[in-house]
A = this chain, B = another copy of it.
Amino acid sequence: MRGARARRRKHAAARPPDVDIGALTCLIGYMLRRAQIAVFQDVFRAFAEVGIRPAQFSVLTVIAHNPGRTQSQVAAALGIKRTNFVALIDSLERRGLAERRPAPSDRRSHALHLTDAGRATVRRLNRMVDRLEAGMIRRIGRNRRGVLLELLARLSER
């Protein structure tokens, strides 16, 4: 046992020792960022098969749950600026997943709706999301997702 450990240490010493990331691993902000990047890489890879980005998925989901809402309303709910939301909706409309309809009460607004293809895509993406979530729950330990989501929600509150 001792010999094995010493051998391993010798191997480690042969190549330059790892860089110490310092106190960063104890900082919530830094670890939050690293975790978010890691998780999004998985999401990104899975969604690539459908040609959808995480932001587009979040927009499709909100429209699915709130058909008829205006661009400004959906954008605000997701923390996206009206101005940057235009190209997002453009892309979803061009792909035939969502559409802008004239809003009944205000002729300045566009009411957002999903197409049938959009609803089908959301269902497909949701199955992927379920698999990804299952993988993450396996990593952090079953029955600990609730804790994590609660802590993250508290950090998000302004």
The answer to whether A6 has its CB under 8 Å from any CB of chain B is: no
- Chain B nearest CB from A141 CB (Å) reads 8
Chain A residues bordering chain B, tally (CB within 8 A):
60
Considering the complex, which residues of chain A in the window 100-150 have a beta carbon less than 8 Å from any beta carbon of chain B?
A: 126, 129, 132-133, 136, 139-141, 144-145, 147-149
* In contact, A32 and B24 (Cβ under 8 angstroms): no
* In contact, A19 and B73 (Cβ under 8 angstroms): yes
* In contact, B36 and A33 (Cβ under 8 angstroms): yes
* In contact, B129 and A27 (Cβ under 8 angstroms): yes
- Give the residue name and chain of the B residue nearest to A37 (CB): B79
CA–CA, A24 to B20, complex, Å? 36
Interface residue from B34, B64, B152, B158 paired with A79 (Cβ < 8 Å): B34
The answer to whether A38 has its CB under 8 Å from any CB of chain B is: yes
* In contact, A32 and B21 (Cβ under 8 angstroms): no
Q: Which residues of B contact A132 (CB under 8 A)?
A: 29
